[in-house]
């Protein structure tokens, strides 16, 4: 794609068509759109219509608006840069598509798109001001923050750096761990295992959920993994 050749990317996307769709990705359509625009920019309307009928038509029911836009582009064949759709030709549009293909490729391979080292460094840089402040406050109180199991303050890293959810038991107000995992009650509420054992008086009786009127027994509760 960097050499303006869509062939290999299109071939890959069509081979992975079903997986891309189940991932909620419209990458295959986007690549065909790009191809359509390339054909059109060479001024070949008939070839563009043929391409649209073969490759874009199957997406018409779900992506009507995008396809309507492309059909309007037919009026501007060979001079798309003067049309309201000039952004389809922009180098940044290509750049974004290259990025999207590489992201989807990594995602289908089960690999992270960003380098783990750069993820760690950017998380460190974002968290540093809070950590420095906390370290100086704790040093003033004569406490050692490195000896703590859990940071006493939250470090907000933004959504792009959040990978794994954590569970905090609403009864104990403690983070779940291997010894005290989150448990799903039949009503749909989740408590830590310790809280459930406590509420059920050591597994002996049904207990009421602290958050709704439903009752549960220990055997009905299932451990959650995330």
Q: Which residues bind Zn ion (CB under 5 A)?
A: 187, 189, 209, 211-212
Q: How far apart are CA 46 and CA 10, in angstroms?
A: 21
Minimum gap (Å) between residue 80 Cβ and Zn ion = 57
Burial class (CB in 10 A: 0-12, 13-18, 19+), 104: buried
Minimum gap (Å) between residue 191 Cβ and Zn ion = 9
Query: Is the Cβ of residue 16 or residue 194 nearer to Zn ion in the bound state?
Result: 194
SS (H, E, C) 6-61: CHHHHHHHHHCHHHHHHCCCCHHHHHHHHHHHHHHHCCCHHHHHHHHHHHHHHHCC
Query: Is the Cβ of residue 133 or residue 205 nearer to Zn ion in the bound state?
Result: 205
State whether residue 199 is helix, strand or coil.
helix
Query: Is the Cβ of residue 67 or residue 190 nearer to Zn ion in the bound state?
Result: 190
Strand-pair category, 190-192 with 168-169:
unpaired
Q: Which of 154, 163, 169, 179 is nearest to 226 (CA)?
A: 163
Cβ count within 10 A of residue 95:
12
Minimum gap (Å) between residue 17 Cβ and Zn ion = 42
Minimum gap (Å) between residue 186 Cβ and Zn ion = 8
Strand locations in 85-203 (E): 168-169, 174-175, 182-184, 190-192
Query: Is the Cβ of residue 136 or residue 220 nearer to Zn ion in the bound state?
Result: 220
Query: Is the Cβ of residue 15 or residue 214 nearer to Zn ion in the bound state?
Result: 214
Minimum gap (Å) between residue 207 Cβ and Zn ion = 11
């Amino acid at each position: 794609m960097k050499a303006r050749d869509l062939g290999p990317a299109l071939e890959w996307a069509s081979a992975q068509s079903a997986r891309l769709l189940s991932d909620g990705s419209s990458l295959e359509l986007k690549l065909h759109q790009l191809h359509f625009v390339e054909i059109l920019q060479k001024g070949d309307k008939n070839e563009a219509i043929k391409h649209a009928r073969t490759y874009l038509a199957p997406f018409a029911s779900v992506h009507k608006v995008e396809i309507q836009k492309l059909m309007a582009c037919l009026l501007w064949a060979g001079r798309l840069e003067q049309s309201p759709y000039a952004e389809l030709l922009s180098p940044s549009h290509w750049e974004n598509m290259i990025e999207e293909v590489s992201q989807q490729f990594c995602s289908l391979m089960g690999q992270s798109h960003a380098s783990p080292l750069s993820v760690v460094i950017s998380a460190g840089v974002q968290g540093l001001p809070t950590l420095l402040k906390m370290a100086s406050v704790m040093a003033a109180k004569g406490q050692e923050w490195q000896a703590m199991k859990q940071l006493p303050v939250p470090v907000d890293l933004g959504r792009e750096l959040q990978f794994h959810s954590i569970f905090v038991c609403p009864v104990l107000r403690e983070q779940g761990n291997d010894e005290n995992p989150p448990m799903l009650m039949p009503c749909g509420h989740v408590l830590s295992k310790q809280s459930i054992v406590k509420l059920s008086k050591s597994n002996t009786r049904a207990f009421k959920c602290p958050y709704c009127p439903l009752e549960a027994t220990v055997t009905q509760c299932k451990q959650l993994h995330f």
